[in-house]
Amino acid sequence: MRNTILAGALVCAACNTFAEEIPFFELPTVVVTPQRFEAPSDSVPASISVISREQIANSPASTIPELIARQAGINLQDLYGNNASNSTLDLRGFGATGKQNTLILLDGKRISDIDLTTVQWAGIPLDAIERIEIVRGAGAVLYGEGATNGVINLISRQAQRDQTTGTLAARVGSYDTQEGSAYLSYQGGPFGLNIAVNDYRSDGYRRNNHNEQSNLFSTLRWATPAGEFALRLAADRQDIRLPGSRRIQPSIDLNEYETDRRGAQTPLDFASRDGNNVALAWTRVFSRHEVTAEVSLRNKTQESYFDQSGFPDYREIELSVLGFTPRAKLAFSQNHELILGADFYHWDYELKKSNAVAKIGQPINNVAATEDTLGLYVQQHLKFGKDTTLTLGARGETFEIDGTDIYDASAPGASFGSGAPAGHQGEFQFAYELGLRQRWSNTLSGFAKIGRSYRFANVDEAYESDANFNNGFQFLRPQTALDRQLGLEYAAGPNSARIALFQTDVKDEIHLDPYTTGIGNTNLPPSRRYGLELDGRWQPRPNWNLGANYSYTEAEFRSGVLPGSGFTRSNVDIAGKNVPLVPHHKLNLDAQWTPVKDSTFTLSASHVSAQFLDNDEPNDLGVKIPAYTLVDFKFAQKFGAWQAALAINNLFDEQYYSYAVRSQFTSDRYAVYPLPGRTATASLSYRF
């Protein structure tokens, strides 16, 4: 007992000594996303979260979506749990279309595409990210279509002046996971260079889910007192096997989730992707004014094969986008700033369909589409005294899409196919915002904002089959939304708290109608999302850091009937029903403890409440995705330039899934996508 007490006293003394060595300096957080130029976060009328470089390094999360999903108001849908290979983020309750209504940016440039594929999260190494900015609420004025309920901006790292630093790291873990990464940062005079490379391989939790991913991310900068040039080059590659779902149908006593949780329904399915990205940015400062112009070119090539129980489908897709985004900030005085800008994007899309890899040289369908958008925007910031800031903004955007489909009846497997007549759609939409931020004291402030946003149907949503299973371009009306939010914030040194209330009314929501014969997207009846977000951080001692956030979200259809058909169901009433894949409650907790210098313990926990299955718009399946709670742990120890870390995810081996879908044709059948149980990874890194 005496030895135990003595050891405890020594540890406490070390804690106190270490605490005294770390003075705390609180500086205003600078963010880019809300204005597309750097601005203090406490001057922006919006609910903003920033995940810092330190938080990224200390978190038990190994992927960007896992990190972001621990913030208030964000839900993660993951199919396989293998390095975010099929992960989507949903901000403030859009469910299955969360990825189309939450805009993802990389250094201010959109990486959300005009097809239905997910963002290639693993193509962006964590080592390359300086911070992640999350701005909740309509962001269409500055960023255009798809920013319905928020914007997530990944900010890449910059070299530090007159320094050369780097990291070499290796990680191994469950399911034969192996990962290696390297990061180099150099700054000499006006020249700066950042390079991050990563290679990941894992068998995955499920059978037929082997995943191989590699990427390169680099930025070169030439800076002068008046501005800079920045060139970004990136490339990524992925090969992944797709295990499909686990099927459940009580009426025939089928439950693959219980009998073979890790099995593969689709042992022959696979997908691959190659991506390349180049972007050049020029920035110039004129007294208080600033001008930036960026041109970017991004390309990806994808292959996928789905056996479909003997009705195989093989596809090759090539998608490229050229972007030009000039903008200017005019500071007429300390109390008046005006931001002007334009966003032009040109997309080229080509899809080739066949029934086998070897036969793609003579495709059954060859679909080509081009899309052009041009948006012009203005945002004005007015300060009244030092405590009141008013933001006003407006945007107009044109949208043009053209599509063709060449059908070859002589191609192998073309017996029951068809081609789509050429199609064209032209649209114009506008957005606006009005925001007010008021500071009442050095620690207390509030904000209010109203904004209109919009979304256009992407090419995968437009090219579908009709009620007779004939291919066609089914152009839909643009989706519009009106967003309102109120917030109150408290900040005193390292301690902070925020409460935000929001309501979003959506018209003509673009979504799959599961009760229409064939596979048809549609404009859904009106819907509403509203809720509450609480967020806080507390530092009781310099070597302790605690955080918590809670989200309450309601998402419901306000009126409407889905016509359906005789093959599925007809006249499906969805008025007052909950939007699928939206949990009402979500709670996140995290704690970081540094008992002695160079030793860090991090513990995080997340609870997600039950939610309706995808395709269960009438809410009458009688089954929900069960609530689940996950606890993750990480310990990191530095030894000079070396650091060793151990992370355990899903510490208590929770059996769960975050995505499930109801059958369109069989009343009690549904499919679930099991996620990994307890996993462990160990890493070793060297910093210089």
Percent of the chain at pLDDT exceeding 70: 95
Low-confidence winner among 19-23, 185-189, 599-603 (lowest mean pLDDT)? 19-23
Q: Which residues of 553-570 are buried (b: 16+ CB within 10 A; e: fewer)?
A: bebbbeebebebeeebbe
User: Which residues are paired to 405 by β-bridges?
Assistant: 367
Q: What is the structure's pLDDT at 415?
A: 79
Q: What is the structure's pLDDT at 7?
A: 37
Q: Which domain holds residue 168?
A: 2-687
CA–CA gap between residue 580 and residue 564 (Å, rounded): 18
pLDDT in tens, 203-233: 999 999 999 999 999 999 998 888 899 999 9
| Choice between 381 and 163, residue whose per-residue pLDDT is larger | 381
Q: What is the structure's pLDDT at 1?
A: 38
Q: What is the structure's pLDDT at 436?
A: 97
Contacts of 532 (CB under 8 A, 6+ apart): 499, 500, 501, 550, 551, 552
pLDDT in tens, 567-607: 788 889 999 999 999 999 999 999 999 999 999 999 999 99
Q: What is the structure's pLDDT at 162?
A: 76
Q: Cα separations (Å) of 351 from 304, 311, 406, 547?
A: 11, 19, 10, 46
Report which of 13, 119, 4, 111 is spatially closest to residue 63, judged by C-alpha positions.
119
Counted domains in the chain: 1
| pLDDT of residue 682 exceeding 90 | yes
| pLDDT of residue 21 exceeding 50 | no
| pLDDT of residue 8 exceeding 50 | no
- For residue 541, the one-letter residue type is R
| pLDDT of residue 31 exceeding 90 | no
Q: What is the structure's pLDDT at 114?
A: 79
Q: What is the structure's pLDDT at 413?
A: 86
Q: What is the structure's pLDDT at 519?
A: 56
CATH number at residue 226: 2.40.170.20
Q: What is the structure's pLDDT at 33?
A: 82
Structure tokens that stand for 436 in this block: 């007010």
pLDDT band at 517 (very low <50, low <70, confident <90, very high): low
What's the CA angle centered on 134, arms 132 and 135, to 5 degrees? Answer: 145
Residue appearing with tokens 């630093």: 165
Q: What is the structure's pLDDT at 180?
A: 97
Percent of the chain at pLDDT exceeding 90: 77
User: Which residues are paired to 635 by β-bridges?
Assistant: 601, 646
CA–CA gap between residue 118 and residue 121 (Å, rounded): 8
Q: What is the structure's pLDDT at 24?
A: 34
Q: What is the structure's pLDDT at 28?
A: 53
Return the SS3 of 54. Answer: helix
- The rounded mean pLDDT for the chain is 91
| Choice between 159 and 10, residue whose per-residue pLDDT is larger | 159
| DSSP result, 157-217 | P-PPTT-EEEEEEEEEETTTEEEEEEEEEEEETTEEEEEEEEEEEE--SSTT--EEEEEEE
Q: Are 552 and 599 in contact (CB under 8 A)?
A: no
